[in-house]
Structures are given as C-alpha cells and as structure tokens.
Chains A and B, each alone.
Chain A
Amino acid sequence: MSSAASSTTHGSAVQRWLAPIVWLSLLLLLTLGMGHLEWLFRLLEPDLRQVIYRRADFLTLLGQHVLVVGIASLLAVALGVSAAVAVTRKFGRDFLPLVSQLASIGQTFPPVAVLALAVPALGFGTLPIIVALLLYGLLPIVRNTLAGIDSIDPQVHEAARAMGMTPWQVLRQVELPLAAPFILAGIRTSVTINIATAALGTTVGASNLGDPIISGIVNGNTAYIVQGAVLIGLLALAVDSLFERLQRRG
C-alpha cells in the first residue's frame, strides 16, 4: 500500500483506511498468535486439559472460510450482475418481472434453511456450501443491480445513445458506473450474510472458522467457542469495514 505517497495529496490516507487496517491486523495477529494466549483461556476453563483449539491451525481454518466465501461471492457477483443486466436489455425484458419478484421472495428464505436444503440435493462437503452461498448471495446483488439500473434517468440513457455510443458502450461507460454504488451495497449485504452462513459449514461437513465453535459446544469447552467466535467476528468486521471504505469512495 503506497500510503506514504498518497498521504501527501490526501493528507490522511492511513486515517481513512484505519478501520479496515485495525480489524485486519487484529484478525491476523489473533489467528497466528492464539497459542500465546493460553494463560488467558486458562482463566476461562481452569479445569480442562486443553484450552487452545488444535485440531487444525487457525490460519488454515481462516483460509478455508475466506476461500469458500470468496468463490461463492465472486460467482454470485458475476452471475447476479449479468442476470440483472440481461433482464434489463431488450431481449430479456420479458423476464424482468419474474426475476425481480424472485429476488425479493427469495430473500424471505432463511439462509440456514437454504444451506440445509443443499445437503439432500448435493451431499455433504464444501460443494453444497458454495452452492447455497452462491444462490442466496445472488438475491441481494440481483435486486440492487436492478434498482441501480432502474434509478438511472432515461434522459441520460438517451443522451448517451445520441452521442453515438453503442449499446455495449452505454452499458460499460454509463449504466454500470452509475449503478455501481447500488451494486456495491448489494455485494456487501451478500458477503456479510455469506460469512455468517459459511460458519455453519461444519454441520454439513466442511471445515472453517465455525469448527472451534461447534466443537466447543459439543465438548463443553467455552475457550474453543470464544476463539472461533472472536475470529469470525473479526473477519466479518474487517470485510465490512473494507466495503464501507469502498462505498464512501464510490
């Protein structure tokens, strides 16, 4: 990050990126250094032999969590934005009412239920989680992209066409940039829900930061629960603050 260079022009680049930097460093520090806090967790569970979750190291768990959410979210953005763009073109306009209604009805479905239904359909493992996160994550993105494109003044559209822009250019240079803040807000909602739902992955046979929590509940080890919960919480806050920063820019 070239914060030194930009700080001369913007004054306080570090300050503007402070929240994401703080959450991210806390997350990484704790992920790598949880073992050094054994004395602290000892206070919480003085009678147990083991107070630090060791079945897998936290960095691997964090990596798996980020990977699953990342893949699902990237696919959701690609599919969601293309779907919303397709149904707002001339050839796909027939599908617009159905898609927009589906996006709003679908959001009534609880994410846990969607995750649970993915297992009978796809079996246990990482695949059902990615599919469930992808399907659920699509909804806010489709909905917000539609709202974003809908919010553009028709006159802007006409002016762009009158300037001789091709439909593709109008989409790339006018519609998508103007809809970007909406789309970004949709992605933020989608990712936030996905981080939370992915944590339940342990119950469908995938391992990630939810593991220590579930294992702690099963074995009655509060220390494990706190370790998992703090890391997931920090991950969510780091990602959310990153989006917050990006949205302010846009």
Chain B
Amino acid sequence: MGETRQSPNWVLSSLMLAATAAWLTLDAVSVAPNRIVPGTPYAALEVVGGWPALLMAVPMLAVVVLAWRPNRKGLTLSLGVVMALLALLPLWLAAATAVLVTPDMPQARVGIGSALWLLLFLLLLVLIELRTRLGMSRALGWLLLVPMLLGWWLALSLWLEPLALLREYHARSDQFASAVQQHLALVGAAVGASLVVASLLVLAMRRHTGVRRVGFGVLNFLQTIPSLALFGLLLAPLAWLGARVDWLAALGVSGIGWAPAFLALLGYSLLPMVRNIFVALEEVDPAVIESARGMGMARRQVFLQVRLPLALPVVLEGVRITTVQAIGLTAVAALIGAGGLGTFIFQGLGQAAMDMVLLGALPIIGLALVADALIGALSERLRPGGAA
C-alpha cells in the first residue's frame, strides 16, 4: 500500500471525532472524600477552567483534518500528535488531581471516568490504524507506546497518589506482589508441564494411530468443559486423595488450592500444545528429510538437527496460545483458592470495590498482551527466513 491515497481516511476521522466528542462531553474524573462515599464526577471542561481540555481537543481535530488528504507526511504527523496526546493524558490527570483534591481531603480517591477510558481506547485504535497505514512492523508498533508508558509512569510515581487504583494498590502491595508471583508460577508450571506431556503424547501419537484418535478425542472433550465446571469436578476427587494419601497431603494437595488449578490448566493447555507440536513435526517437507537422510544423517540426527529446528516456530505458536489461555484461566482458579490476580477480581466484586476489580483485571490483560507479543516475536524470529 505504498501509493498516496487521495480519498479521505474515514477511519481516522470518525475515530477522532468520536474521541473528541467523548472527551468534551462525558465525565473524565470523579473525586470521593473516602473509600465508602461515591465520588462526584467532573467533565474535562469543568476542570481547571476547561482550557487544558479544549487545548487537547485542538490536535484531535487537527488529525481529523489531516485525514482528509492522507498522504505519508500527514499520517506521520498524525502519528506524532496521537503519541503526544497519549503521553499528555496522564499529565492532564495529574493536573486535575492536583486541583480537585484539596489538602483537607487526606483520604480522597480520584477515579478515572468514562471520557478518559474511551479517549485512551480510541487513541490506541487510531495508533493501530496509523501503524498499519504507514506499514510499520509489529515490533515498531510496540515502541510507539513508550511515550505513553513513560507519561503514566511519571504521573503515577510523582503526582497521582490520590488515584483510587493506586491507593488500592498501596493498601495491599505485598499481597499484589505475591499474587503476581502465584499467577506467573501457576501459568509457568502448567505451560511447562504441558510442553513435556504434549511432546511425549505426540511421540506416542506418531507411532500409533489409535493413540492419535483417542488422544485428540479426549483433549477436544476436555477443552469443551467450562473452566469453572472442571475446577469443580476436580475438587471432589482431589479432596478425597488429599485426605487419604499422606504424602500427597504433605505436598499440599487438597480439593482447594493449587492442585485442582494446576491439573485443570494442564488439561486445557494440552490440546493447543499437542495440536501444534503434531502439526509442526508432521508438516516438515518430506524432501528435506529425504535429503538429510541422503547426506548420511542418522534418525536421531535428522530429528534433532532438521525436524526440530524447522518445527520450533510452530511449537512456539502453541506455547503462545497456551500461555495466553492459561493467564486467563488462572484468574478463574482464584475462585477455588489457587491465589493469583483473580483473587482481587473476585474479592473486589464481593465487596463492590470496583478499583480492586481493576487492580486484578488490568494486570491480567497486561500480562496476556505482553506474553502474546513476546512469544509471538520469538516465534517470528525463529521462523526460517524470518527476521533473524
């Protein structure tokens, strides 16, 4: 898509108009004197006389104008504007906080309103659109987020102490750290174990067609069972085992806790993993294997030096799918006492404490996106003829 498009880019203009409208009309922040009282909402125009909000609306409209004749220069300029806006957003929030929270409100909690969330979401969509139109690579796309992340980091560490989300975090930062650890440990253990078990299964499947049929059948069946139900169904037999077998009880196996979570995660991880490993090994071009044999390589050598390196990117693709899936499922496992970030979600829902829900949900989404990007990039690099 190298040609300069002369027809207007309706995507950019409609997204930006929607963003401007949301920004100028909806509630941007809310301030509550403490955790119990509901907050008073403020629109962006009601804060600091409204001129900073209007000032931010100007570049947004400029992008709408630039989208009318979307040539490369205009698009690059728009990209700069959007990145600047994304970085300015946390600073605006910091300024609003400084003005709205007076010293006589030491327990004040600032909530982020729908205008800010929507603006953030729409600006990120615009960023994706611009990245695509400018033909940037995925890795470069991630770099575009750096100014925004710097802005948030700066604002959060210096000025945003009254932010409800941050207060919620400070109130339980130890708990948060151990929740992240538990979450990652469960995901890592499940994905690692499924990689080993799936490899063994695939080796057996390649030998015997019977194993292949039954194996895929069972794994498909498992994948269909909803997570909450599978956790529940594992609970009864594991509680029984934990109560009767001493050495299992000593390991901490019981109906509640890591054991049912780990087993269920392993079960769910096996299907994507087995499928990808199987396809990866199966799809290596027979001519390549033939020529490796012809060069006098032994079976073992062919497997280790030819089949495996060629299969690796596809296997990693399986690891990616499995990891992202496991990060989400581990959140559900909090319900059966497995810990992790889901604890905050369900505790927060139980207490109707929405900031606590966010404290659980946002990091989970973050983890999933990062895992997806990192493993995706790795498998891209390892692909023959890839970026390596």
Contact = CB atoms under 8 A, between A and B. Distances in A.
B328 A110 contact: yes
Interface string A227-244: 011101100110010000
Secondary structure of the A contact surface, majority rule? helix
Interface stretch (B93-101, B201-209, B360-368, B379-387): B360-368
B154 interface: no
Contacts, number: 132
A97 B360 CA distance: 31
Interface in A81-114: 94-95, 97-98, 101-102, 105, 108-113
Contacts of A113: 328, 331, 345, 361-362, 364-365, 368
B256 to A, nearest CB: 8
B132 A97 contact: yes
A204 interface: yes
Interface in A195-222: 195-196, 199-200, 203-204, 210, 213-214, 216-217, 222
B229 A199 contact: yes
A120 interface: yes
Given A226-B233, A229-B228, A116 B345 contact: yes
Contacts of B224: 192, 236-237, 240
Contact of B225 (A109, A111, A203, A233): A233
Contact of B354 (A119, A214, A222, A230): A119
Given A116-B345, A217-B336, A233-B225, A109 B368 contact: yes
B10 interface: yes
B255 to A, nearest CB: 7
B332 A200 contact: yes
Interface of B: 9-11, 114, 125, 128-129, 132-133, 221, 224-233, 235-236, 239, 255-256, 324, 327-329, 331-332, 335-336, 342, 345-346, 348-350, 352, 354, 357-358, 360-362, 364-365, 368-369, 372
12 contacts: A95-B11, A97-B129, A97-B132, A110-B365, A110-B368, A119-B357, A192-B224, A214-B335, A225-B235, A226-B232, A232-B228, A237-B221
